[in-house]
Amino acid sequence: PKEPSGPLSADSIKINKEVANAFVKRKKRASPYEWYFEYYKSPMEQMHERCENYPPCDYLSEQVGFALAYNRFFG
């Protein structure tokens, strides 16, 4: 094997498509329900994200739990 003499660049590190596909597989959807739930979130998940995106709520949820923290700031 030939050792590189200089710094590696993005162009020097290449793998062919078949090798890349061996460990990076695209997930196939089994049903329309999986497709739907990938794009539309449940109300509970939307509430969690709202609390996570607001730092005081996120911090308090780690201390007292999600339900109490969410009600404190948004309820």
If one compares 75 and 61, the residue with the highest pLDDT of the two is 61
Query: Model confidence at 65, in pLDDT bands (50, 70, 90)?
Result: very high
Query: Model confidence at 71, in pLDDT bands (50, 70, 90)?
Result: very high
Q: What is the pTM of this model?
A: 0.51
CA distance 30 to 21: 20
Percentage, residues of the chain above pLDDT 70: 72
Amino acid found at 25: K
> What is the rounded end-to-end Cα distance, in angstroms, of the chain?
64
Model pLDDT, residue 2: 57
